[in-house]
Structure 1
């Protein structure tokens, strides 16, 4: 490792390897705050914290970073923590001295100040013929090369053990922060968040840091979950072999899995909130008393025009006038998938309902948030375009959403003429998979009746499904009572749905993550016992229906039938 030249030039203090001193004095210092103007610069990343470019250096390509300090508190913290560039520079050189492969750090520059470092530059030599570990693993997944993936993960376990032994506290471990050389060796990069401890890390700290890495395997993404679970098992086996103190593989796997789940929940909750503030995809405007939340792809003028459109058809009105679902023609300025919209009006007919919407979250806002939560979790729901809430104490809420074509509901389709055994079996599996994913991601629907599921058969015979009535969706753990109620609701189908169909649904539900949700109940009752509990619940529900029917007949009231949304693509209340 070469000694460093230290000098002040261009208003910054520099620590530079001698071969790069002329480059700093002649080129970099002049554009230190505008690294995109370096010769041959290509922007790799640009955000409020830093700019990263690939540029030509005196001996080949360099990656040059410009770190910014966004506020005074962060600047003050550099007095005892050092700047991000300083931390990464010293971590790279420290790890290299311990035999851990890292990009060669050749330049560090800081803007000094009495209250801390204001901004800083860091340059590292580009690693030739390399790619991100995450991309290499994705390629090996597609090529079905299990041996190649396992070898890389075993090598990763060794690299991480070396980092921890070197005192590297790395809170941002994930597969994209490692490179794979052409010869298959791993290179560690992006170390600006690393803290160097004076000795090897404690075992508990190591396991905690590995939770972020476990999340990057894609354990909770349905497209990569099977691969990710297998890869985490391989990684844990390799890590335990190198670090026997970590204990048996099974408990360590369970801890890392739980850590990945918690991290994913925090990430999703953070993304959920973007529909409530001005963000990349959403806009909020108006004053309290008439406030609009909308997608940026939909203009405010188009929303007001849509709300002024006359009703084309009223599909469903709540018996107590709490809400109404309508279809309407979409304004020409609204670029949508189809010519029509669905408008759900929340009417707040009584003061009690209005006060409830004032002191607690009003129903239309719950529906808007739930639509976003389902979208980021890839749970299919009708696309919501805008929400307008009127009244400081809410008096009217209007939700504009997508109208789906040619949809029906399971109980309507099951009683129709086009039912085939194959289509019925496939529908049961698709519904089980959807609901298993929904519950496994910490979501619950308080009214999971078959009327709140829209279905459409695709030309290839498969099924597309959408959950509706989104103001009944909540986040959080389900109680035993809520789990049984949900299973009873989805099992309450016409006689055309056979016992085998219900079993197919249940198997698909468990395979999609429902086994984790129902783990306490399965441990207590087993699958057969849980089925008996659902059967008892169905019998009790049938008795309650019969009692209500008898009371209506005694009063001479008409029978209330489930709402048929066959011509609609929206929520049922």
Structure 2
């Protein structure tokens, strides 16, 4: 990165950044109200029309983390960010030092903090471990300092309204808390139980639900630094509320253009894709049938065709949801496609921490509001299905037994039914049991409805093996009971 402002970079203002959407033309210059200029060399985060965050240099050539507030309410957020950084610093909570805060020339506001070379986020450290077993020792060691730091925040009478792993920075062996805009003061003593429970629940909700029952070490780290932790009942209520909100929020994002997902709506088709995959999958989404025809056919049926395809050496699965006949077409016109249902439910399982091949993109044929065929693109799972893998005359190997126990306990606790729970829809990949074929999966609102659906799922799974065999008896004893 250059250490001096570049005259060749275009000079932009807040209006130009707002109109640039998600892709401002970095590098660019921006002028502060006092006349000095900043250069942003690298964009780190863009909230279209609201905020641009990047790595840059100030007028003295010093590297800075630059946050530009460009929206209609820029001054309010800028002031709260400045105040929050001040509150953290005054309480001795590690956070990048505030260097400068000034209005921008022509509108908007800028804020500069110390640039921490080599820093990454707690999220960066967590992502390689997210698929590990619940309570994994390495993951616990990684996460415990964040809970201890949150305890210090609460003990100082502060709260944080946006706690997620991306708001914790790791640098030179230290953990720092960022996003001063979300920091609030609540008096001089330890935080009230309700607010502390809300914050703690927010952080716990970042973990897969399979971690329930493996949280003692993390909560102990929090209690070591907060002399007045919330009680179990208050935390349980807050965690239930936070998880319900997070699920609604996340599932709503799967159907709209946002930071996580890119959506394109046209009269004749609709496309949804994980934003980070949009460029990579562009050719496949433009002609999914060409890739199916050139791929390895896994299933050819009246209602769906499934193929393993190769995209620049990367194996993927494309599932096309067919229309059988005119009557079938009429029955599907107004309803969300089965592809849409699988796309949404795959992301639901992802949030629950249930292993399933990651859904990457969806394409639907449209005629205005009317829907036709659909194509779902997912990661490829090279695992072996349990019907082929398991021996009816013996219990599952310990690793598979533990994975099955966790899988079904999680599904049952979240009131999720699969709808076609045959053994060929469960794949062992060497580390986890992956659940596939989510066309009829459902999360039930009522215990009664779930009990009926789970009884059918349970019976369907057990029918894969003779009732008098060892494996059948082992599963029957360990699966959640039918009501």
Per the normalisation by structure 2, the TM-score is: 0.67
The reply to whether residue 36 of structure 1 matches residue 36 of structure 2 is: no
Deviation, 1:120, is: 0.6
Q: CA deviation at 1:281?
A: 6.2
- Report the CA distance between 1:372 and its aligned residue: 4.7
1:191 aligns with 2:166: no
Shift of residue 124, structure 1, vs aligned partner = 3.2
Q: CA deviation at 1:156?
A: 4.0
> Matches of 1:143 and 1:231 in 2, distance apart?
11
Give matches, 1:20-169, under 5 Å.
Answer: 29-30=34-35, 32=37, 34-36=38-40, 44-48=44-48, 49-53=51-55, 55=57, 62-69=64-71, 74-75=72-73, 82-97=75-90, 102-111=95-104, 118-125=107-114, 153-154=147-148, 156-164=150-158, 169=159
- The equivalent residue for 1:205 is 195
How far did residue 231 of structure 1 move? Answer: 0.2
- Which ranges in structure 1 are unaligned for 5 or more consecutive residues? 1-10, 13-25, 318-322, 511-529, 535-573
Q: Deviations over 1:252-293 (max 9, x none)?
A: 44235434533542453144335xx59776554541xx4243
**Alignment pair present for 1:370 and 2:374:** no
1:467 aligns with 2:436: yes
* Coordinate RMSD, CA, aligned: 5.3
Shift of 1:493: 3.3
2:356 match: secondary structure: coil
Residues 1:357 and 2:347 aligned together: no
Which residue number in structure 1 is paired with residue 407 of structure 2? 434
Gaps of 5+ in 2: 1-12, 15-30, 130-134
What is the CA deviation profile of residues 331-350 of structure 1, one whole-angstrom value per residue up to 9, with x for unaligned ones? x9x65756996544133553
**Native 8 Å contact 2:394 2:471 kept in 1:** no
TM-score by length of 1: 0.58
Partners in 1 of 2:172 and 2:224 — Cα distance?
25
Higher strand share: 2
Look up the SS of the partner of 2:340 in the other structure.
Answer: helix
Q: 1:473 to 1:66 in 2, by over 3 A?
A: same
Secondary structure (helix, strand or coil) at the match of 1:273 reads coil
Work out which of the residue numbers 441, 444, 451 in structure 1 matches 2:417. Answer: 444
Q: Which residue of 2 aligns with 1:389?
A: 365
Q: CA deviation at 1:388?
A: 3.7
Distance in 1 between residues matched to 2:218 and 2:239, nearest whole Å: 12
Secondary structure of 1:172 counterpart: coil
Q: 1:273 aligns with which of 255, 258, 267?
A: 255
Work out whether 1:243 is the aligned partner of 2:228.
yes
Q: CA deviation at 1:85?
A: 1.9
Note the C-alpha offset of 1:304. 5.1
Deviation digits for residues 515-558 of structure 1 (CA, Å, limit 9, x no counterpart):
xxxxxxxxxxxxxxx4xx56xxxxxxxxxxxxxxxxxxxxxxxx
Q: Deviations over 1:64-95 (max 9, x none)?
A: 322221xxxx33xx6xxx43222222333355
CA contact (8 A) 2:46 2:52 kept: yes
Change (3 A) 1:346 1:255: same
Size of the alignment, in residue pairs?
Answer: 436
Measure the CA separation in 1 of the matches of 2:128 and 2:297.
51
